[in-house]
Amino acid sequence: MLNLVVVFVGGAVGSLCRYWFSTLVSQRFGNSFPYDTLFVNLVGSFMIGLIAGYVMRFAGTTWGQLAQEFFAVGVCGGLTTFSSFSLQTFDLISNKRWVAALINIVVSTVACLAFVALGWMITCR
């Protein structure tokens, strides 16, 4: 039961951060390219990498489990989004902006993966 509450609260916090960040980023950089979603996905991927590296030390303990559920499942999961990413890519495709769509897919996938690796390397040692 406690883990459900923890996941809910984490998800609410993460989603709120996504809402704020994406509003700020699209005000700053405009809507010609989905910078907002790219930004929150990068931040969330970096965070989940940090957590994955750090929580390994507490693997198996109740606290490790709860921390993982709050930060990784809740906050990072709520902060990042695949649905807006795909919808925005589809919008680019239907506006025949093929290169922008491809850049969005490749950059999101590769950079987020790199950011997970970066976060993991910082905390795992």
Partner 1 sequence: MRKILLVALGGGAGTLLRFLIGEKVTMLHQWPPLATLVINVSGCFLISFLNFISKPPGHIYIGPRSRLLWIVGFCGGYTTFSTFSLISFNAIRKSNWSDVWGNILLSQLLCIGAVWIGYTIRKPAVFMLAKVSDLLCPKVSSIVKNTDA
Q: How far is the CB of 77 from partner 1 (least distance, A)?
A: 4
Q: How far is the CB of 84 from partner 1 (least distance, A)?
A: 6
* Residue number, 8 or 95, with CB nearest to partner 1: 8
What is the widest separation between alpha-carbon atoms in the chain? 51
Binding site for partner 1 (CB under 8 A): 3-4, 7-16, 18-19, 41, 44-45, 47-49, 52, 69, 72-74, 76-87, 89-90, 93-94, 105, 108-109, 112-113, 115-117, 120
End-to-end CA distance of the chain: 33
Q: How far is the CB of 18 from partner 1 (least distance, A)?
A: 6
Q: Which of 52, 43, 48, 29 is nearest to 108 (CA)?
A: 43
* Residue number, 58 or 84, with CB nearest to partner 1: 84
* Residue number, 28 or 82, with CB nearest to partner 1: 82
Query: What's the CA gap between 44 and 18, in Å, rounded?
Result: 9
- Inter-residue contact 53 to 119 (CB < 8 Å): yes
Q: How far is the CB of 48 from partner 1 (least distance, A)?
A: 4
